[in-house]
Amino acid sequence: MFSHGTLMYDSEIENVVRSLNVKTEKIKSKGIKSIRSRVANISEFMEEKLSMDELKAHILKHVFEVEKVEDVPQYVLTDEDWDNIHELSKERYQQWEWNFGKSPKFNIQHTHKFDSGLVDVRLDVHKGIIEQCTIYGDFFGVGDVSELEEKLKGVRYERSAMDEALSDLNVSHYLGKISKEDLLGLIY
């Protein structure tokens, strides 16, 4: 079993909240409503403040139900363990399906003012697949931009997949002097 979490003991909460605030150019996840309401320091709930080492020892003793931290059982990973860990990482955790294919629905909006015009790209992505693509701007392409948008629908939200999906299109035909590399750099 694998579990991950963060225990903040004595962080500067306002700095944490500021760093977690999503700007309009970044991913807006529908999974988080209010960051500040979900963030607190453990020290806020303690009568007596502990050092970081004391807190770690206290948690270990509690989890392992021992009186002294020295009694916490330890396991030293063998070379075979490390080989198995690296193999599992390669086969499962370094794969697109694990990292993006199970991700919740999210929206992306990226805007950039190029020399030849403003481009505003908006994507709806679910389980790592682009479900909707809309491109706005004041660029001067001659092609119908909806053809470009359609090419990105159903494509994995990864640079190489989007590059391949657009490989048979002249992006500049749709976006003026804005190249495919410019567009991919904006989207991803």
Q: Looking at this protein, which amino acid is placed at residue 67?
A: E
47 and 38 Cβ atoms separated by less than 8 Å: no
Q: Write down the H helix ranges in the chain.
A: 13-20, 52-64, 79-88, 96-99, 145-152, 159-165, 171-175, 180-187
pLDDT in tens, 35-55: 555 678 999 899 998 999 999
Q: Whole-prediction pTM value?
A: 0.60
For residue 145 the two structure tokens come to 């931009």
**CA proximity to 127, closest of 164, 152, 150, 98:** 98
CATH annotation of 108-187: 3.30.390.50
- In the numeric block, the tokens 């989207």 are attached to 187
Q: Is the pLDDT of residue 173 over 80?
A: yes
Mean pLDDT over each residue of the chain, to the nearest integer: 88
Domain coordinates in residue numbering, the chain: 13-74, 108-187
128 and 101 Cβ atoms separated by less than 8 Å: yes
pLDDT in tens, 82-108: 999 999 999 999 988 888 888 889 999
Of the pLDDT bands very low, low, confident and very high (cuts 50, 70, 90), residue 25 is very low
Alpha-carbon gap, residue 46 to 177, rounded angstroms: 60
Q: Is the pLDDT of residue 22 over 70?
A: no
